[in-house]
Structure 1
Amino acid sequence: MAKILPLGGDVDWPEDEGVLGVVGVAPWATIEFLRAFYALVPATKDWHFPRVITDTNTKLPSRGRYFQLGERDPSPYIAENIRELADLGATVIVLPCNTAHLLYDRWAVNAAVPVPNIVEETVALAHHEQAKLVTPFTSTSLADFDLYGAVIEKQGMACHRLSPEDQSLVSQLLEEVKVHSVVGGANLERLDRLCSKLRLSGVDTILLGCTELTSLMPRFAKHGLKVFDSNQALAGSAFRLVMGKQSQTTSHTTPSALSA
């Protein structure tokens, strides 16, 4: 990696500023993560942003197909990507994919640099904001293994799990975003009905446990639900690690949680 030191004067940045590495497994989710990360940087010039090395590697074996169909384990390939990014100079590495974190211990345990856990960061954010009854919106694989539910309850909050019918809707939302980058009107109407039902059940907080769902945050807020996005939670953790003490600088963005 080219080592470019600050010149001083106008063209300057902290000499101990880190480099972020991103293992991107889905294009739109990776773009949304980068948008969330860059939005946290109080930059007025291009060189104020930290260096980011992104490998949008859509050829990594499917996490969902591994769990649902028993196909190839993506863990060794993710671990290899992490090593490559570290060799290129990344000092912090993230994987903006919630489902892959079912295998976190396989690909992050021997990493040479910090690798924040997206599930733990998202739940911690909700806990910090005093969430009470939480519903995670996740992939089918994550729902089957109840990873979010376990971490939510470990943090002392209550978890309201989706029914199979409601989980099916979430899966359809994810597929729409993967293919079209947006959710169509029919499924948005179904989502509105689901939000109303969750509110009646006492749910106060939604966790977007899939990085394809970021664009739906205002939809939940419209129903008076707090919503915490895993992409933004991971971006916040990466920002703090990359910028160090610089992370205390005031951001020019909206916070991770939206509420009516």
Structure 2
Amino acid sequence: MRKFFSIIGGMGTEATESYIHVLNQRTPAHSDQEYLNYILVNHSTIPDRTEYILDNSKPNPLIPLLEDIKQQSQLNPEFFVIPCNTAHYFYNQLQAATNIPILHMPKEAVKEISNVYPNAKKVGLIATRGTIYDGIYDVEINKSNYDLVKPTKHIEDETMELIYKYIKEQNKVNVSLYHHILEEMVNELNCDVVILGCTELSVAQERAADHNYPVIDAQSVLVDRTIDNALNNRKL
């Protein structure tokens, strides 16, 4: 197969399925042959990223991630996609292991803010505790001269409950909890826009999008950048 990209997924599987679903849905295809060529590595047994970031004595996700990158690089994809925000904690090490470009999910999400919400100044972030702790979004948000608003401990706890108790454990979205979290970020913390910095939150957005809160869905942005890159490479 030529002109393809590789997806390092499975973190978690439902979130990867959401990414694939939206990817295929948005691809401008009218026949089987017009869809995109890609290889999906659904590596569900990669250790939890947040657990390791918060406690380095836990199993290290970087080890299997590096193995996947090196293995897939032998097939020579055009680029890599990693639909997991927290995994981008290891972005520099992963990119150093291959000459093939890896799309940077947080960077692309922050770049999208000016296109959708050009007057935004205060940018909120909801994500796993690992992503909040490791600061991968902080760098990009501050670099773009936005005021970063992190969730309170209470909102952070609610977000972890939504991600782990409902979506990861039960494959269910607690719609009222998701909307409540957005309401707190916008109305209590005065955010102009809220970045959904976890792919499980992208699952929540896909299944419970009936709201008027201003959000940037990092996974949705990644889908669009994936399609752009794949179609551009197809022309070369």
TM-score band by shorter chain is: 0.7 to 0.9
Look up the match of 2:167.
Answer: 177
Contact 2:182 2:194 in 1 (8 A): no
Answer yes or no: is 1:155 the counterpart of 2:144: yes
Separation in 2, partners of 1:232, 1:195:
17
Look up the match of 1:39.
Answer: 25
Contact 1:127 1:155 in 2 (8 A): no
Answer yes or no: is 1:124 the counterpart of 2:114: no
1:156-202 superposed Cα distances (whole Å, 9 cap, x missing partner): 11221100111000001111111222223xxx334433333333342
Counterpart residue identity of residue 141, structure 1: G
Contact 2:183 2:213 in 1 (8 A): no
Look up the match of 2:226.
Answer: 238
Between structure 1 and structure 2, the one with the greater Rg is 1
Look up the match of 1:92.
Answer: 79
Look up the match of 2:6.
Answer: 21
Separation in 2, partners of 1:95, 1:193:
28
1:121-157 superposed Cα distances (whole Å, 9 cap, x missing partner): 1111113322322111111011122322332121111
RMSD: 2.1
Counterpart residue identity of residue 182, structure 1: K
Following TM superposition, by how much is the alpha carbon of 1:220 offset from its aligned partner in structure 2, in angstroms? 6.5
Separation in 1, partners of 2:50, 2:195:
19
Contact 1:22 1:53 in 2 (8 A): yes
Look up the match of 2:200.
Answer: 212
Q: Aligned with 1:183: secondary structure?
A: coil
Contact 2:129 2:156 in 1 (8 A): yes
Q: Which runs of 5+ in 1 are unaligned?
A: 4-17, 248-260
Decide which structure has greater helix share.
2
How many residue pairs end up in the alignment?
A: 228
1:88-124 superposed Cα distances (whole Å, 9 cap, x missing partner): 3421111111111111111122323110111101111
When the two structures are superposed, what TM-score results if normalisation uses the length of structure 2? 0.87
Separation in 2, partners of 1:246, 1:50:
9
Q: Which runs of 5+ in 2 are unaligned?
A: none
Q: What does 1:125-144 correspond to in 2, within 5 Å?
A: 125-129=112-116, 130=118, 131-144=120-133
- Aligned identity (percent) is 19
Q: Aligned with 2:7: secondary structure?
A: strand
When the two structures are superposed, what TM-score results if normalisation uses the length of structure 1? 0.80
The structure-2 alpha-carbon separation of the partners of 1:220 and 1:89, relative to structure 1 and needing over 3 Å to count, comes to same
Counterpart residue identity of residue 156, structure 1: N
